[in-house]
Structure 1
Amino acid sequence: MIYIFFSCRLSSDLYTIDDSLPFIMNILLANFVGLLGIAIILSYVQVFFLLFLLPFWYIYSKLQFFYRSTSRELRRLDSVSRSPIYTSFSETLDGTSTIRAFKSEGFFFAKFVEHITLYQKTSYTETVASLWLSLRLQVGPCIKYVL
């Protein structure tokens, strides 16, 4: 029972490391080089830009800290709500004969559905927060043209 939980947990972590991390690092490197190039060109063309760079960096770091802490908490809630699903499923598989003997299928199914519902709520919240950030980053540059 514990082996199944840890193998599922480890496979999720390994997927994140093997698949997602190189992709995210590639995006980080490309954005950093692009931002550095823009900053160098703006500093060369408009020296006055350097005065605005520090306040913008401070505001951005505060917003980034707020988003990171929220995102970290949502991921933690997602992981915590996923754990009872694995546990309930493995317990049900281990005790299938006992559950059938006591005719408690409905109880265990209702408990499993309750765990799934809780997981979907936290997963939905995390997805909405990620979509909001994505939309905000894409629409942000367009707002100055509307106003």
Structure 2
Amino acid sequence: MAPIRFTVNGAPVEVTDLHPTTTLLQYLRIHRRLTGTKEGCAEGDCGACTVTVGEWLDGRLRWRAVNACILFLPTLHGKAVLTVEGLSAESQPLHPVQRAFVDHHAAQCGFCTPGFVMALVAHRLDPENGVHLATEDVIAGNLCRCTGYRPILDAA
């Protein structure tokens, strides 16, 4: 297999020895030990595996939320992957979206929280990509079973 080159949380990555049907979720959790991205349904229906992927289009980096459980590694060549672990910095331990989730009590068990956060981060990074989307549409596809959606919408 030809090398697949992309970045994960800003760090360059080159993958040469994995089967081409390895999903981004498998790669992140098993090979990078980035376990904030969860496996829920493994079919792209629950949003627990949502990460943000950036791709250069028209001279600028365009971001979108994707389901890592159904995205194969070769599709990431030349792109940037941002996971929930890549959001914080030492000077600011929580990203503003994460801070809003805390402030609005938008998480209970926390299983779905990284997916919701990453969907909202993607929208925040590239608001033109979904400029006409209502908040409900930005988080569509992300499921929560214990918090309820009101605090999540408030955080958004």
TM range (shorter): under 0.3
- The structure number with the bigger radius of gyration is 1
User: Which has more strand, going by share of residues?
Assistant: 2
Q: Which has the higher contact order (CA 8 A, sep 6+)?
A: 1
